[in-house]
Amino acid sequence: MKFKAVIFDFNGTLFWDTKYHNQAWNFFLKKHGLELTDAEKAAKIHGKPNRDIFKGLFKNTLTDDEILKMTHEKENLYRDICKNIQLELAPGANDFVNFLNKNNIQFAIATSSGWENVSFYIETLKLENWIPLENIIFDDGSFKGKPNPDIFHKAMQKIGQNPENVLIFEDSKTGIQAAEKAKAGGIIIVDSNGDDYSDFSYRKINNFNQIDRKLFVD
């Protein structure tokens, strides 16, 4: 089978920033009298939109305004960490994206990040140089977050592809579950953080140069 399109998750997949998010969460949680191990963060936080994360952390006791305030607080911490680091895409990602563009293979990004972080990525990583910005699907509050498949359905619609023609790259368990529910033709796990993927049988990579280009072209 030849895939006609690709959908990437972003955080932990195209951009390996899980440790930066974890650092920001550690600061935030300590301030608010909470504590999570990295394993608990993987289960309760990674891959989910902030509104769902905060509802879970605070057991649905927060108002929408409080969730918005906490979202800004945590993401400002995260971006401040990132601003002190030379940011770059995942190993092999530039080569793989260049291959997709050269061969006119459509692709999109489907990220649980909100616009403030997405605009930060666009500016710092110059995403407009290799993807149409309208192909970046982010959490705008108009659909259910992962593990629901809505964001992948929206990305498939944006690039005009049926699920069976699409290969999805994900790193979080909630994202993998969302890709399954979206009935993607293929799923590849990007193991950027050494997480436990024993519940899944999909291929794992830690460099996009490990992807066989014959999955797309002869």
Do the domains 5-16+88-215 and 18-83 sit in the same CATH topology, yes or no? Answer: no
What average pLDDT does range 3-7 have in this prediction? 98
* pLDDT at residue 42, rounded to an integer: 83
Nearest-5° Cα angle at 75, 17 to 53: 90
Pick the CATH number of 18-83 from 3.40.50.620, 1.25.40.320, 1.10.150.240, 3.40.50.40: 1.10.150.240
* Distance separating alpha carbons of residues 80 and 98, to the nearest angstrom: 30
Query: Residue 133 has what DSSP assignment?
Result: G
On the question of pLDDT at 124 being above 90, the answer is yes
Comparing 34-48, 86-100, 138-152, 156-170, the range with the smallest average pLDDT is: 34-48
Q: Is residue 65 over pLDDT 80?
A: yes
Domain borders along the chain are 5-16+88-215, 18-83
Give the side-chain half-sphere CA count within 13 A for 186.
18
The pLDDT of residue 44 is above 90:
no
Q: Is this prediction's pTM over 0.75? A: yes
The Cα 26–Cα 38 span in angstroms is 9
* Class of domain 5-16+88-215 (CATH, top level): alpha beta
**40 — pLDDT class (breaks 50, 70, 90):** confident
Q: Residue ranges of the alpha helices (H) in the chain? A: 18-31, 38-44, 50-57, 64-83, 93-102, 115-125, 150-159, 173-181
Which pLDDT tens digit goes with each residue over 21-39? 999 999 999 999 998 988 8
Confidence at 89, pLDDT banded by 50, 70, 90: very high
Amino acid residing at 67? I
Query: CA 156, CA 144: separation in Å to the nearest integer?
Result: 16
Name beta bridge partners: 106: 5
Tokens encoding 140:
């705008």
pLDDT at 128 over 90: yes
- Average pLDDT on 72-87 reads 94
Q: Is 186 helix (H, G, I), strand (E, B) or coil?
A: strand
